[in-house]
Structure 1
Amino acid sequence: MSENSVSIAPSGQVAPSGKVVLVTGASSGIGEATVRRLQALGCTVYAAARRVERMSDLAELDRVHVVGMDVTDPESNRAGVERILAEAGRIDVLVNNAGYGSYGAVEDVPLAEARAQFEVNLFGAADLIRRVLPQMRARRSGRIVNISSMGGRLHSPLGGWYHATKFAVEGLSDCLRLELEPFGIQVVVIEPGAIKTEWGGIAADNLLATSGSGPYAGQAKAMAKTLRGERIGSGFGSGPGVVAEAIAHAVQSEKPRTRYAIGRGAKPLIMLRRVLPDRAFDSLMRRANRLPAPPAVATADGGA
């Protein structure tokens, strides 16, 4: 039997021969593609999401178990993790994929919405990490895979709260990597670029609802076109399978990279952000998204 194969004990529990993986946000997009890829590799996968009805196809796959889970609800997380440990005996890998992007001017976005985005993108992931770590530490083995974004390394117009959550995921992951290394637990960050999922359309709709009128309307309408892929064509983005493949590598590799920048635009944009001065990158973002030009700055003698 290969190291990635999994056998099912007569009781219905998973025999301890293969990786047991928990994937959140598994009802669509990157999460669903990841479940399918890891299942094909022989892992036993617990596919978790709020919308259980959207995972009916996944539930029909061998070694895939659907779990109703709201990552913002600690009780839901506790029940989900306890169920997996009772059935499988362990969790080898946690893939924190649940998340969403809520765009809008910082002035316009209610703080309740800003906090809600942090609850999903950061605190929900952190709660699950805390719940799976004790059994990983006891076995001195495990892997945490946090799905960030190229947006955790750079910024775009009207994405202040979204980028703030992803920058926070990056910082949390870096600290975790250091503190968990003595226990044999590895931490990996996945940084997708432009990916063809429903994410962009939902983010664009939320942006226009939040800042589509008022002082930020011009920026909002321009950015909505970018989020929908209208600037460079809807075919520009990579498919979610590209990200799932990177996650599979992070799960399988004996020594995975600390970061995987994957998908269209991720590596070049992250590189540009690294080398360009702040205002130069601001100008690049402004031109790429066709934002209204900033007003001319008056000189000391009153000229422009």
Structure 2
Amino acid sequence: MKTILITGASSGIGKATAKKFAAAGWNVIASMRSPEKEAELSLLENVMVIRLDVQDKESIREAIHSGINKFGTIDTVVNNAGFGILGAFEKSTDEQIQNQFSVNVFGVMNVIKAILPHFREKQDGTIINITSQGGRVTFPTCSLYHSTKFAIEGFSESLAYELLSQNITVKIVEPGSTESNFFSAAGMAADQGITAYEEFDKIALDNWNKNDTMTSKSAEIAEVIYQAATDNKNQLRYMAGKDTALYFGIRKGEDQEYVNYMRKAFIPEILEKRNK
């Protein structure tokens, strides 16, 4: 029986992924910052709910050690934990910038650093990094969030070359808009002293809500993650979600055509004002 460790398993994609793998007969190490609040996953057979904060290296080491002690090994790690700061970049505070990268970038690196000795020792293992469609396409108000997801895309692609030498596989899953608590958990750029972007933020977010018509269920994303973990392919990237396919398709064309499309779709009022 194989074993998977999932970060950010308390809700959304992470929780759905834990359920999917448990139902498929895997041992699941469902990690989260506050395991004492989890009442559902702990009832499932072969699921170990444990504390892991991607910003706390000791908690990562303890979770990996406890998981190996319980199940004998770890075969796959899914780096899912992450969050977003929305709003114009200039309004983001230094603390928000640091925290965004600490979780979304350095947190992923912390987990990978901690699991690699185990994977190298057995010359086997799979790392699945959950990025976002926002790791290859961009939306207004997401500049800070996108910068972290673009970083993980590049890191993962290059890391995949390195780890081939150790028979370790790296894969990327790129979800689109998903029924989860991402937006409710996302913070807004918090510098209240800057008001110049109020109209921009409102227009962009309002149009985002209007265009957000192809939302996927977390369970649908979990199916793609399961496919990536079990298909035995050398494939690096896995798209997840109808809107991801849409935006990636547009991006394949001329670069300026894509930029023009996104401007017209999400900030047409700003564009019209600029062109007057």
Taking a change above 3 Å as real, the CA distance of residues 154 and 194 of structure 1, as seen in their structure-2 partners, is: same
The question of whether the paired residues in 1 share the 8 Å contact of 2:4 and 2:27 is answered with yes
CA distance in 2, matches of 1:252, 1:64: 19
Deviation at 1:54, TM superposition (A): 3.8
Deviations 1:114-172 (CA, angstroms, capped at 9, x unpaired): 11111111111111111111111111110000000010001111211100000011011
Taking a change above 3 Å as real, the CA distance of residues 289 and 202 of structure 1, as seen in their structure-2 partners, is: farther
Q: Tell me what 2:264 maps to.
A: 287
Q: Tell me what 2:238 maps to.
A: 260
How high is the TM-score relative to the length of structure 2?
0.93
CA distance in 2, matches of 1:263, 1:218: 30
User: Is it true that 1:122 corresponds to 2:105 in the alignment?
Assistant: yes
Q: Tell me what 2:92 maps to.
A: 109
Higher helix share: 2
Read off the aligned partner of 1:182 and give its amino acid letter: S
Out of 215, 236, 241, the position equivalent to 1:237 is 215
Secondary structure of 1:129's partner? helix
Read off the aligned partner of 2:47 and give its amino acid letter: V
Q: Tell me what 1:20 maps to.
A: 3
Q: Tell me what 2:195 maps to.
A: 214
User: Is it true that 1:273 corresponds to 2:254 in the alignment?
Assistant: no
CA distance in 2, matches of 1:180, 1:82: 22
Read off the aligned partner of 1:36 and give its amino acid letter: K
Deviation at 1:226, TM superposition (A): 4.6
User: Is it true that 1:149 corresponds to 2:127 in the alignment?
Assistant: no
Read off the aligned partner of 1:38 and give its amino acid letter: F
Q: Which has the higher contact order (CA 8 A, sep 6+)?
A: 2
Q: CA RMSD in A?
A: 2.0
Q: Tell me what 2:143 maps to.
A: 160
Q: Tell me what 2:56 maps to.
A: 73
Could you tell which deviates more after superposition, 239-248 or 212-221? 212-221
Read off the aligned partner of 1:33 and give its amino acid letter: A
The question of whether the paired residues in 2 share the 8 Å contact of 1:105 and 1:211 is answered with no
Unaligned segments of structure 2, at least 5 residues: none
CA distance in 2, matches of 1:211, 1:289: 23
CA distance in 2, matches of 1:59, 1:174: 34
Give 1 or 2 for the bigger CA radius of gyration. 1
Unaligned segments of structure 1, at least 5 residues: 1-17, 298-303
CA distance in 2, matches of 1:181, 1:70: 28
Q: Tell me what 1:34 maps to.
A: 17
Taking a change above 3 Å as real, the CA distance of residues 208 and 132 of structure 1, as seen in their structure-2 partners, is: closer
How high is the TM-score relative to the length of structure 1?
0.85
The question of whether the paired residues in 2 share the 8 Å contact of 1:48 and 1:66 is answered with yes
Deviations 1:170-202 (CA, angstroms, capped at 9, x unpaired): 011011110001211111100001111121244
Between the two proteins, what is the percent identity of the paired residues? 34
Q: Tell me what 1:182 maps to.
A: 165
Number of aligned residues: 275
